[in-house]
């Protein structure tokens, strides 16, 4: 935002342009005003000739009224008060404008401070967002670590299950082998028992056959020799026959016992063989069912292992994706934080630089305006001092003139007070015109407005460019305009004119 001081200077220039006249084409050539200006120039009141056609109608009318008031010997105190009031009103307006500019500048400074506070708040918010992003990154990292630990735990569980599956697969095989070996041993034992039973049966059968042969031979012998038995002595034969019958009966009874015992033993061996075969078939069926169960369990464990392997692959992929997201989030968070810090620093530096520049500009303008006000006040004080000194000198000279010219007529004595007032009014008008001519040109006041040679020149610029003329001009004897109540040939005393010239030469230049 630009400084309001150039606007103040533009306003002052506009006021000066309105009050002092700028364009020559707006004036139609007032002969009375030209005559008044010529008289002021010849009397030394105006040290520089003013080109009358360079004034606007309003300025020419105002200047004509001022000059007519001076030449008509009106109250110099009233004219001086009016001029001073105008100057002070202008200074008051300038000071009020300056105060408004300072208040605007304070508002701008407050706005800039608020903008800086907002920038700091934005920076704090960006810092908080970065901290939140860091926390989120940390939480994502913790989740990734949890996922990694979970995957490692799952991997350990899979390895444990694989080892358990291998141990489970080995244990049924060992049990089956042991069962088969025990069944083989039992089968071998049963085979051996059957072989022994067959051998014992064969032996028993051989013994039985031998006994049958012995019995048949005995019976044959008993049947072959009946006569011998009958012809033997009765006692001896009866005893032998009884003994042989008893022995035969005993042998037959023994044979039947042996045969029954052998049959019982054979039946027992057959029962044991059939029981062993049934047990072997049952064990085979149990082993087959156990083998089928082991195979199904192995298949289910393989399926579980494959599923766990796929879950592990998914977990590894998820872990890699989470690590990539974590890395990208960390990189983006660091980049955003660096950009936010850089932007905040640049914004704060730019705002501080702009505020410092505005403050320096305002201080410089304020110092310049203070210096201008001080200069104007010093000029006003000097003008007052010079006016007072001139008034005292005119009063002293007028009093001396009255003492030396005591033989003048009554009309001349009546005109002396009016001439003193006239000299005072002339001095006041000269001071007013010189104060107006001492105003700086708009090109010097306004720094922002460029110098343009083609722009219309102001009356003060045209006035400054004119050549200086001495107060002792050859036109000093031009007649004054006639006034009612005076004689046509009446003139001011030369002494009063010389006093004005002397006071004009002694007045310090601004």
More confident residue, 290 or 467: 290
More confident residue, 321 or 430: 321
Which secondary-structure segment (H or E) carries 239?
helix 234-404
Q: What is the pLDDT of residue 491?
A: 47
Q: What is the pLDDT of residue 503?
A: 44
Burial profile 431-446: b = 16 or more Cβ within 10 angstroms, e = fewer: bbbbbbbebeebeebb
pLDDT at 58 over 50: yes
pLDDT at 7 over 80: no
More confident residue, 160 or 231: 160
pLDDT at 206 over 60: yes
pLDDT at 97 over 60: yes
Q: What is the pLDDT of residue 253?
A: 66
Give the CA dihedral 411, 417, 420, 422, nearest 10 degrees: -70
pLDDT at 231 over 70: no
Q: What is the pLDDT of residue 417?
A: 54
pLDDT tens track for 241-297: 566 566 656 655 666 666 666 667 667 766 776 777 777 777 778 777 777 877 777
Which percentage of the chain shows pLDDT scores above 70? 43
Band of the pLDDT at 106, cuts 50, 70, 90?
Answer: confident
Of 161-165, 277-281, 445-449, the least confident? 445-449
* Average of per-residue pLDDT across 160-187: 66
More confident residue, 434 or 182: 182
Provide the mean pLDDT of the chain.
64
How far, CA to CA in Å, does 159 sit from each of 26, 147, 165? Answer: 111, 18, 10
pLDDT at 47 over 60: no
More confident residue, 243 or 301: 301
Q: What is the pLDDT of residue 103?
A: 78
How far, CA to CA in Å, does 450 sit from each of 23, 181, 392, 445? Answer: 20, 122, 46, 11
* Stated pTM of the model: 0.23
Which secondary-structure segment (H or E) carries 9?
helix 5-20
Angle at 305 between CA 304 and CA 309, to 5 degrees: 115
Cα 201 to Cα 196: distance, rounded to the nearest angstrom: 8
Of 139-143, 274-278, 499-503, the least confident? 499-503
The 3-class secondary structure across 393-415, one letter per residue, is HHHHHHHHHHHHCCCCCHHHHHH
Band of the pLDDT at 506, cuts 50, 70, 90?
Answer: very low
Q: What is the pLDDT of residue 262?
A: 62
- Residues 6 or more apart whose CB falls under 8 angstroms from that of 211 comprise 251, 254, 255, 258
pLDDT tens track for 316-349: 788 788 888 878 878 887 888 888 888 888 888 8
Query: How many angstroms from the chain centroid is the CA of residue 450?
Result: 42
More confident residue, 23 or 356: 356
Domain ranges of the chain: 5-126+342-398+414-506
Q: What is the pLDDT of residue 214?
A: 62
Mean pLDDT is highest, among 140-149, 344-353, 442-451, 498-507, for 344-353
Q: What is the pLDDT of residue 502?
A: 42
Give the CA dihedral 454, 10, 468, 499, nearest 10 degrees: 160
Band of the pLDDT at 61, cuts 50, 70, 90?
Answer: low
pLDDT at 45 over 70: no
More confident residue, 245 or 379: 379
């Amino acid at each position: 935002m630009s400084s309001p001081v150039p606007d103040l200077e533009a306003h002052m220039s506009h006021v000066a342009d309105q009050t002092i006249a700028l364009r020559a084409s707006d004036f139609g050539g007032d002969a009375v005003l030209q005559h008044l200006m010529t008289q002021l120039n010849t009397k030394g009141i105006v040290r520089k000739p003013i080109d009358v056609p360079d004034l606007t109608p309003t300025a020419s009318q105002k200047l004509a009224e001022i000059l007519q008031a001076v030449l008509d010997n009106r109250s110099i105190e009233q004219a001086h008060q009016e001029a001073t009031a105008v100057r002070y009103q202008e200074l008051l307006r300038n000071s009020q404008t300056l105060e408004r500019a300072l208040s605007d500048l304070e508002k701008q400074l407050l706005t800039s401070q608020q903008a800086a506070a907002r920038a700091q708040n934005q920076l704090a918010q960006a810092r908080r967002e970065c901290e939140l992003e860091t926390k989120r990154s940390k939480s994502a990292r913790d989740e990734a670590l949890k996922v990694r630990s979970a995957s490692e735990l799952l991997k350990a569980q899979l390895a444990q299950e694989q080892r358990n599956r291998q141990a489970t697969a080995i244990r049924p095989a060992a049990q089956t082998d042991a069962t088969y070996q025990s069944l083989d041993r039992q089968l071998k034992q049963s085979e051996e028992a059957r072989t022994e039973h067959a051998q014992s049966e064969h032996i028993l059968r051989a013994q039985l056959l031998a006994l049958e042969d012995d019995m048949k031979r005995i019976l044959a012998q008993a049947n072959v020799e009946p006569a011998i038995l009958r012809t033997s002595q009765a006692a001896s034969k009866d005893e032998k026959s009884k003994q042989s019958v008893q022995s035969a009966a005993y042998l037959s009874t023994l044979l039947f016992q042996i045969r029954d015992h052998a049959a019982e033993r054979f039946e027992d061996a057959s029962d044991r063989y059939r029981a062993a075969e049934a047990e072997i078939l049952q064990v085979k069926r149990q082993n087959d069912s156990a083998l089928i169960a082991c195979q199904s369990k192995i298949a289910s464990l393989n399926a579980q292992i494959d599923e766990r392997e796929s879950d592990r692959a998914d977990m590894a992929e998820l872990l890699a994706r989470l690590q990539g997201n974590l890395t990208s989030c960390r990189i983006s968070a660091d980049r955003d934080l660096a950009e936010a810090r850089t932007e905040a620093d640049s914004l704060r530096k730019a705002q501080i630089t702009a505020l410092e520049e505005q403050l320096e500009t305002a201080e410089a303008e304020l110092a310049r305006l203070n210096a201008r006000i001080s200069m104007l006040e010093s000029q006003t004080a000097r003008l007052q001092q010079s006016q007072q000194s001139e008034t005292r000198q005119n009063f002293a000279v007028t009093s001396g003139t009255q003492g030396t010219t005591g033989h003048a007529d009554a009309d001349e004595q009546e005109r002396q007070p009016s001439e003193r007032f006239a000299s005072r009014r002339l001095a006041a008008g000269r001071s007013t015109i010189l104060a107006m001519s001492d105003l700086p040109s708009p090109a010097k006041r306004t720094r922002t407005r460029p110098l343009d040679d083609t722009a219309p020149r102001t009356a003060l610029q045209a006035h400054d460019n004119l050549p200086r003329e001495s107060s002792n001009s050859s036109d000093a004897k031009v007649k004054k305009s006639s006034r009612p109540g005076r004689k046509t040939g009446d003139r001011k005393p030369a002494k009063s004119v010389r006093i004005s010239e002397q006071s004009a030469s002694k007045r310090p230049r601004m």
